[in-house]
Structure 1
Amino acid sequence: MHPNIYIPDAFIDLIKHTMPENLSIDEFISCCKTPLRRSIRVNTLKISVADFLTRVADKDWTLTPVPWCDTGFWIKREDEESVSLGNTAEHMAGLFYIQEASSMMPVTALLDKNDNLDCVLDMASAPGSKTTQIACAMQNKGALVANELAASRIKVLHANLQRCGVHNAALTHFDGCVFGTWAPEAFDSILLDAPCSGEGAIRKDDDAMANWSLESIDEIAAVQRNLIVSAFQALKPGGVMVYSTCTLNQHENQEVCHYLKQTFGDAVEFESLGDLFDGAQQALTAEGFLHVYPQVFDSEGFFVARIRKHASVETEPVKKRMGKFPFNQVKADEQQLIAQQLNADLDITLSTNSDIWLRDKEVWLFPSQIKPLIGEIRFQRIGIKLAEQHKKGYRWQHEAIMTLATGKETVAIALTAPQAKEWFMGRDIRPENQSGKGEVIVTYRDYPIGIGKWVGNRIKNGLPRELVRDTNLFDI
């Protein structure tokens, strides 16, 4: 980021007219031209915050807590030039997610005093930062539907869910506007982190304002109004939804929320976020929304609204053409045999929150709570691929290890740092003075990084080709 970053005059004029009087437009502009602090969120599906801090204590990392997320930290590193944050061993093992601090706020708002997490929708989820944050709160219980409109981003979303150990998610690929009519009142809680003009992202994206115009934000706001209505229709009465954007103008923020209120009246309640965290009052609007200008918390600009649904609302009936669902649920006795084989082979015990389904020779693990939605909407992917059947049993999959293993299994083999680097480069490993047979879970510093198979005195690498890396890897 350089001080001559392009900020349109029309945008500055717009902000001048809406920014609270206690904030300075000069400080706003200055902050927009300052690089954004890096931040991470500990993935509690795999490791506790306390254990994570102990694990990285030997690194030259300075971690400062994010006030609105008890698993979030701003990070400063001495080794930034030698190893990218994404190529650290902890990141590749899924122990943390690289996530901008402000973007942790919407999920915190959704989860606050909210126990209704049996079936949750993240309506615009890629690349997965907020989806994995929700998944941490759910602890792989219930069902989490992660929707993404852009086909090119589905693969990245799935990879991040897999790396972080999420196995209760179902992926869909729709315009979010379909949920209100295809799945009316189906979800206990909904996050709509809406597509927006991205004005708040200028500190991390030099081109954030390249295509900005007053006309473009009006067009985007029209899309957002359709999305928020659909989300509200898909929400169960009594449920909570959060509407958020990483933009700053009121057309895409307050006005979209007021449109929802005008549409559905008393069924809509705005719940104040003034007590969400210490200091939240600094960004609070009259309606109880959080409108975060970047200079307030030295963060990305963001908007967050929490909305409660108090009554059912009308939805237009839709004619569905679903096609045949290609999976069949396994009967209880067969499911038990598969679970027993997994335990015998890899010392992994399946949870009671999942069901086993088959597609040809593929064995899949679906979240049990997703069953009512099967046949109602079309899924791109559900749960995880557990195994492939073959003549001699089952070929267990990498994603099963990354989502189900803990690293404490009896078949786990600990790798040294040089061996772990070889593993991530897609190479076979030869542990010193060791040999075995069958499949083996490979770990680095106590956490699983994949599955291999003994061939004499070497472990054949089972890392999927798309995950192989060959440069700029961690030192320890």
Structure 2
Amino acid sequence: MVQFPQEFLERIQAILPAHLNLDDFVRISGEPLRPAIRVNTLKIPVTDFVALMAPKGWRLDPIPWCAEGFWLEREDSEGQLGNTPEHLAGLFYIQEASSMMPPQALFHLCAVPDRVLDVASAPGSKTTQIAARMGNQGLLIANEYSSSRLRGLHANLQRMGVHNTALTHFDGRQLGPVLIEQFDAILLDAPCSGEGTIRKDPDAMKNWSMASIEAIAEVQKGLIESAFAALKPGGVLVYSTCTLLGEENQAVCHHLKQQYPDQVAFESLAELFDGAEQALTEEGFLHIWPQIYDSEGFFVAALRKTGSVQTEISPSRKARFPFVPCPRSLASEVEAYLADTLGLTLPQGGSLMQRDKEIWWFPNGLTELTDKVRFNRLGTKLVEQHKHGFKPQHQAAVTLPLSLSRAVALDREQARHYLMGRDVAMNNPGAKGEVVVYWQDQALGLAKWVGNKLKNSLPRDLVRDNVGK
């Protein structure tokens, strides 16, 4: 049984809704979480994914608040879920059910945002969910303060086929003053004490104290003020945590409303999904106790900005911008090479940019922000120029729309070998040059014909030693 500090239990008892009790909270906190996944609709429709996995004995129980989300039971449970070919191909993301709720709230209240900010993005579950809901259109800025988590975030974005996203690396409290009123919608999934994660992390409460919670709450207040400054009037800010006490949840939202009483409106999430009323607070927030939906503990609030606020503008945090617009003739060459040789099509709503010998694709609206903030990773690297032509890049292969007629199909066993970094034997006399290889209609990466085999071009940091069958 999970051991909770007595002070924590007393505080939980004091704020539990009348229809819940402490014994049920303690009991379910000691039970393991149900595994959950979210289908990546950038790559496969939900119905097709369900049909694809049925022969493997995957039983998928729909999550009420996310049409792409499912609780999962597997008959093939001997292999790690993250090492399945379907996961490595980006067909789904392993994501706790409650974690799917904040992006759903964002789009519930802002149906078609053109420019979105995710303030604390890594490892990328909510970022990739937002990108999928945007249909890879518009511009999504994903910020992450932890430098050690940026690479994993970028890898997840590539795996899921996201190309409308650029990464920044800042303390989120610095973003608002340099990106004032730039975004239609903002998600702030704030760093928190993690009280709601006890079911997957028994040590989550190990160093719990009210002093640490109060310190974290001060950081959260700074983050929500900054996020609000970056939000356009009329836009929606969703604030969420995976913690339970009000100091990190309701109190942070009320702090912002006290700062700007005439510009902050609490939006009710009562209609987000059937059954939401079981977690609804008097403000219209969702306080997810783990026993309500058999999930992690979570908190989700939606706030609308009803007018501009005075914000002290900070100097731009930009670096030298090394890109220039790609000359039209070169852009035409690159576009033709990608289409004719690899079967890759450039997305609509973007532009080609050049940095030395590299050619990149940028989503619309990105260059408008480069004089305001320094980007860590931006755009999609398409090719590098060489004296004999172009060298294609992995991220182009896995994120651009692909014509299968010009790519090479792999069967399941060949796909496993490719994802493990191995060359693939294949008899195709006379074949030469770079190709995109795919499985289940999804690009896995690049390879090059060498004799009777496809020489593997998968980046070393993406190679897996043991891909499941």
Alignment of 1:9-408 (within 5 A): 9-81=6-78, 83-320=79-316, 322-406=318-402, 408=403
Change in 2 beyond 3 A, CA 1:309/1:8: same
Alpha-carbon spacing, 1:100–1:321, altered in 2? closer, same or farther (3 Å): closer
Which residue type is aligned with residue 332 of structure 2?
Answer: Q
- Once the two structures are superposed, residues 29-52 of structure 1 have per-residue CA deviations (whole angstroms, 9 ceiling, x without a partner) of 001000001000000011110111
Q: 2:468 aligns with which of 433, 453, 474?
A: 474
User: 1:360-381: CA deviations, max 9, x gaps?
Assistant: 1111111112121111000001
Partner of 2:434: 439
TM-score normalised to the size of structure 1? 0.96
- Secondary structure of 1:291's counterpart equals strand
Q: Helix, strand or coil: the match of 1:452?
A: strand
CA contact (8 A) 1:348 1:409 kept: no
Matches within 5 A, 1:446-457: 446-457=441-452
- Could you tell me whether the CA contact under 8 Å between 2:178 and 2:317 is conserved in 1? no
CA distance in 1, matches of 2:205, 2:43: 37
In 2, Cα distance between equivalents of 1:245 and 1:442: 40
- Residue 261 to residue 113, structure 1, CA distance change in 2 (3 Å): closer
Distance in 1 (CA, whole Å) between partners of 2:47 and 2:343 is 26
Per the TM alignment, residue 115 of structure 1 is displaced from its structure 2 partner at its CA by 3.2
Per the TM alignment, residue 231 of structure 1 is displaced from its structure 2 partner at its CA by: 0.4
Counterpart AA for 2:348: T
Give the distance between the partners of 2:173 and 2:373, measured in 1 at CA: 13
- Spell out, residue by residue over 1:293-332, the C-alpha distance to the aligned partner (whole angstroms, 9 max, x if none): 0000000000000110010001102223633211112134
Q: Is the 8 A contact 1:127 1:153 kept in 2?
A: yes
What is residue 423 of structure 1 aligned with on the other side? 418
CA distance in 1, matches of 2:233, 2:37: 34
RMSD of Structure 2 on Structure 1 (CA) = 1.2
Which deviates the most, 156-165 or 366-375?
A: 366-375
Cα distance between partner residues in 2 of 1:277 and 1:116:
19
Partner Cα separation in structure 2 for residue 68 and residue 342 of structure 1: 39
Secondary structure of 1:364's partner? strand
Note the C-alpha offset of 1:409.
2.3
Output the amino acid matched with 2:175: F
| 8 A contact 2:241–2:249 mirrored in 1 | yes
Q: C-alpha deviations, 1:154-180, integer Å up to 9, x for none?
A: 000000000000011100000001111
Q: Secondary structure at the match of 1:26?
A: helix
Q: Quote the offset at 1:333 in angstroms.
A: 4.0
Aligned residues: 469
Q: TM (normalized to structure 2)?
A: 0.98
* Structure 2 gaps, min length 5: none
Query: Is the contact made by 2:317 and 2:374 (CA closer than 8 Å) also made in structure 1?
Result: no
Deviates more, 1:112-121 or 1:184-193: 112-121
State the alpha-carbon separation in 2 of the partners of residues 130 and 228 from structure 1. 18
| Matched-pair contact (CA < 8 Å) for 1:42–1:96 | yes
Query: Any gaps of 5 or more consecutive residues in structure 1?
Result: none
Residue range with higher mean Cα deviation, 324-333 or 294-303: 324-333
When structure 1 is superposed on structure 2, of 346-355 and 15-24 the one drifting more is: 346-355
Listed one character per residue, the Cα deviations across residues 208-233 of structure 1 (whole Å, up to 9, x for unaligned) are: 11111011100000000000000000
Distance 1:420 1:435 in 2: 22
